[in-house]
């Protein structure tokens, strides 16, 4: 399976997926840490991929998403954005609704 197929499989298998540096318990950059805080505050489970452990995926995902930085949050296979966008969505209350809708739709 090539890297793009792996990315597609990860996205189709997880309603809420965060590509980040590190893990939610031990983020490896401030942007990932802030994004995780926003997501955890939504109160729903989410999947994550530590891109530092997958250098080839890290590079290919930038091409796949046409988004140059990390973290990258996907909901229902669609790129939502990075740290700043996630923070804005959380502050407005939209992120909570998006996450709950995505998780609820698959329950």
Residues with Cβ within 8 Å of 85's Cβ and at least 6 positions away in sequence, in order, are none
Torsion angle (degrees, nearest 10) of CA 67, 17, 39, 75: 80
Q: Is 29 annotated as a binding residue?
A: yes
With 0-12 CB in 10 A as exposed, 13-18 as middle and 19+ as buried, what is 20?
A: buried
Binding residues: 29
Binding residues for [2Fe-2S] cluster: 29
């Amino acid at each position: 399976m090539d890297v793009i197929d792996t990315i597609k499989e990860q996205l189709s298998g997880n309603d809420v997926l965060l590509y980040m540096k590190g893990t939610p318990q031990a983020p490896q950059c401030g942007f990932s840490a802030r994004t995780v805080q926003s997501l955890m505050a939504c109160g729903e489970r989410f999947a994550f991929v530590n891109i530092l452990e997958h250098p080839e995926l890290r590079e290919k995902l930038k091409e796949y998403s046409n988004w140059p930085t990390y973290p990258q949050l996907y909901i229902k296979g669609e790129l939502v954005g990075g740290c700043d966008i996630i923070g804005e969505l959380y502050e407005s209350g939209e992120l909570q609704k998006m996450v709950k809708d995505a998780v609820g739709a698959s329950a």
